Amino acid sequence: MSSSGVALSLEGRVALITGGSRGIGAATVRLFRKAGARVAFSYRTAEAQALAMQEACGGPEHCLAIQQELSTPLDGRTLVAEAVRAFGRLDCLVVNHGVWPAHDQSIRTMTDEQWMSTMGTNLNSVFGLVRAGVHRMQHQVPLPGGRYHIVLVSSTAGQRGEAFHADYAASKGALISMTKGLSTELAGEGILVNCVAPGWVRTEMSAGTLDSPDASNRVFRSIPLGRVATPDEIAGPILFLCTPWTGFVTGEVFNVNGGAVLVG
């Protein structure tokens, strides 16, 4: 008996993915394009990588790189407007961008500037993105299936905290609370809101820590699977949460951390 397989298709959909030039974001852009979506993605400084990604994924008619600072609500609204201007609609919003100050900083010595900078990028811009994205979804003609998807990328740190990184943990915990509140608020309008919570992932942001033998050994010992994730292993669950197969899933925190959150 032959089988054609099970499709995870986003054909005809438009997705906006923030922080799409590197790491988890880049893997997600590539996967969404393979699934048939047209994709707009943001980058801040990595222009060469972003433009290479744009061309590799079909050029600006199918995959558009948008340079955009994301540190205020206005920045978020501006990015949504640019994506909609390019592709005419918005069906999936993946909020992936964020900063993690790599140096340990006690709450006693953390500066106002560090706290506000982390919150600006990891939380305030997300408010602008989500508000503008929801407004667009509410005022456009739905495609067959009639559902829209918002996926916020949080972290295990948002669930269990992270010593010496109170700013990061607080911002990522807020995304989990946003997911739970918005999921019930928007369910009646066909907008499904979910969260992916990665643990350690090998990206440029984590390379400094993971390339240190002592630090990486501590990290590996904290993960039951004994290794860190690849960006593709986070992109897959993000894609899944934006497909029709999750049409009855909203308000979920999808842990993708090798079991680390269970033993931390």
Q: Residue 24 corresponds to which tokens in the numbers above?
A: 């988890």
Q: Convert 199-236 to b/e letters by CB count within 10 Å (16 or more is b).
A: bbbbbebbeebbeeeeebeebeebbeeeebbebebbbb
What sign results for the dihedral spanned by CA atoms 261, 255, 118, 51?
A: positive
Tell me whether strands 148-153 and 253-256 are parallel, antiparallel or unpaired.
unpaired
Among 162, 171, 154, 167, residue whose Cα is nearest residue 251: 154
- SS3 of 67, please? strand
- Is there a catalytic annotation at residue 168? yes
- Cβ(125)–Cβ(70) below 8 Å: yes
CA distance 259 to 200: 11
CA distance 83 to 77: 10
**87, 100, 148, 168: which one is catalytic?**
168
- Cβ(238)–Cβ(94) below 8 Å: yes
Q: What is the DSSP letter of 140?
A: S
Q: What is the DSSP letter of 60?
A: T
Active site amino acids: 168
